[in-house]
């Protein structure tokens, strides 16, 4: 199988089915696992899939606004290669970086795909330190450092840990499908004060704002019938933070394992199953590159919190094109307006939509 085919399959999910996972030598997600931080910022090589994901809303002096995305993926290929060479492929390492320049409605993205080789890519099992060539994320004294450079743009950012981590699902065990173990261990740092620099179009801007960090690891995430997902991270003006996702089936409907977490504002986190919230798509945008139609405007409702939100993108064209992996998706900065308990509330965040471009995800991640 080619590197491109492996990435297409593994970046989104491992094959479903607990017996196959056990036979392949990868550890399944378990309800007994207890997340501990900062220890679990590190890599978990016993699991097949892992990613570290950062997004943020940043402003320069004078108010110019930028969104950014940095994601590092570890994709397990063979847990115990027979070949002792450093060039044996145990894992593939993929990374995506993107910047949205709101003032110019410009979105730029880049991709890296490597194996560990002689230090080409990797991650530490002791603390947060992950890299793909010269793109890097590392942690020092409670601060997350992000560096990535492309010929067209660059980021150099420091995001500080602030507040308690938010554990999604049941104490960080996030069920994604019907089979036990078809899940991930999942937590977020939802509101990280961020400073640094963004370079775009030959201009370098000092910026400040807020970031959101997700870390997930597991072995079997999705099921063959699932088309894709729609995922939101929202930082609201009342101090609360909202994560929610729906897993779409081949009929386009949200699945039973869609989930949400509402945290912050001085209250314990509220965890919601698929029946506790709704996500209604609105206006769509058609990509000139993939011909995919993405619903870029949404209405979100959480009845028990009397929360109703309207989501709109800062720019329609925020699609990430997988030039090497062959996987394309929409990932972009959003604005949010609405009401909570009858009072106005606003905010910003990020929206990710997969399974709209190319083949259905269930076809890509079905049994080999």
pLDDT of 258 above 50: yes
The number of residues making up the chain comes to 368
pTM of the model: 0.89
For residue 354, how many C-alpha atoms fall within 13 Å in the half-sphere facing its CB?
A: 21
pLDDT of 3 above 60: no
Would you give the DSSP letter of residue 103? G
Tokens linked to 259:
């989930």
Is residue 297 within 8 A of residue 310, CB to CB? The reply is yes
Which residue, chain included where needed, has tokens 């950014």?
Answer: 68
Percent of the chain with pLDDT over 70: 85
Give residue 360's pLDDT band: very low, low, confident or very high (50, 70, 90).
low
- At 272-292, the pLDDT tens digits run 999 999 999 999 999 999 999
Position 18 scores a pLDDT of 35
Give residue 24's pLDDT band: very low, low, confident or very high (50, 70, 90).
confident
Percent of the chain with pLDDT over 90: 66
- At 129-170, the pLDDT tens digits run 999 999 999 999 999 999 999 999 999 999 999 999 999 999
For residue 291, how many C-alpha atoms fall within 13 Å in the half-sphere facing its CB?
A: 2
Give residue 219's pLDDT band: very low, low, confident or very high (50, 70, 90).
confident
pLDDT of 322 above 90: no
CATH number of 3-364: 2.40.370.10
Is residue 52 within 8 A of residue 128, CB to CB? The reply is yes
Position 257 scores a pLDDT of 86
Q: Report the mean per-residue pLDDT for the chain.
A: 87
Select the more confidently predicted residue: 76 or 5.
76
Is residue 322 within 8 A of residue 111, CB to CB? The reply is yes
- Least confidently predicted of 2-11, 33-42, 52-61, 69-78: 2-11
Position 367 scores a pLDDT of 28
- At 173-199, the pLDDT tens digits run 998 877 777 789 999 999 999 999 999
pLDDT of 208 above 70: yes
Position 87 scores a pLDDT of 61
pLDDT of 8 above 50: no
Give residue 81's pLDDT band: very low, low, confident or very high (50, 70, 90).
low
Position 58 scores a pLDDT of 98
Q: 223 — phi, psi (to 5°)?
A: -120, 155
18 three-state secondary structure: helix
Work out the average pLDDT over 101-116: 92
Q: Where are the domains of the chain?
A: 3-364
Position 88 scores a pLDDT of 64
pLDDT of 368 above 70: no
Beta bridge partners of 194: 159, 209
Position 252 scores a pLDDT of 77
Position 89 scores a pLDDT of 65
């Amino acid at each position: 199988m080619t590197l491109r085919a492996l990435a297409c399959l593994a970046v989104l999910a491992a094959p479903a089915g607990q017996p196959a996972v056990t036979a392949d030598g990868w550890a399944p997600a378990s309800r007994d696992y207890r997340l501990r931080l900062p220890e679990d910022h590190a890599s978990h090589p016993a699991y097949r899939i892992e990613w570290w994901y950062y997004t943020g809303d940043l402003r320069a002096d004078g108010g110019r606004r930028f969104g950014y995305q940095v994601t590092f993926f570890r994709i397990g290929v063979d847990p115990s290669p027979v070949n002792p060479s450093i060039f044996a492929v145990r894992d593939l390492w993929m990374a995506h970086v993107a910047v949205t320049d709101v003032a110019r409605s410009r979105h730029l993205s880049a991709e890296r795909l490597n194996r560990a080789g002689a230090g080409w890519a990797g991650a530490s099992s002791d603390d947060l330190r992950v890299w793909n060539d010269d793109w890097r994320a590392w942690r020092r004294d409670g601060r997350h450092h992000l560096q990535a450079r492309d010929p067209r743009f660059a980021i150099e950012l420091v995001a500080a840990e602030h507040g308690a981590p938010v554990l999604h699902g049941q104490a960080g065990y996030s069920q994604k499908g019907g089979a036990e173990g078809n899940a991930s261990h999942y937590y977020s740092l939802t509101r990280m004060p961020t400073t640094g620099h963004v370079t775009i179009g030959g201009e370098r801007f000092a910026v400040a704002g807020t970031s959101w960090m997700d870390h997930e690891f597991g072995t079997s995430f999705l099921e063959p019938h699932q088309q894709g997902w729609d995922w939101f991270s929202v930082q609201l003006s009342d101090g609360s933070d909202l994560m929610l996702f729906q897993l779409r089936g081949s009929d386009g409907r949200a699945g039973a394992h869609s989930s949400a977490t509402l945290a912050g504002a001085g209250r314990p986190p509220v965890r919601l199953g698929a029946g506790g919230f709704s996500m209604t798509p609105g206006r769509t945008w058609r990509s000139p590159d993939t011909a995919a139609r993405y619903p870029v405007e949404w209405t979100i409702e959480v009845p028990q919190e009397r929360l109703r939100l309207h989501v709109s993108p800062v720019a329609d064209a925020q699609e990430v094109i997988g030039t090497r992996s062959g996987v394309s998706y929409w990932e972009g900065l959003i604005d949010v307006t609405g009401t909570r308990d009858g009072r106005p509330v606003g905010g910003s965040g990020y929206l990710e939509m997969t399974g709209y471009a190319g083949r259905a995800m269930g076809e890509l991640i079905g049994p080999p």
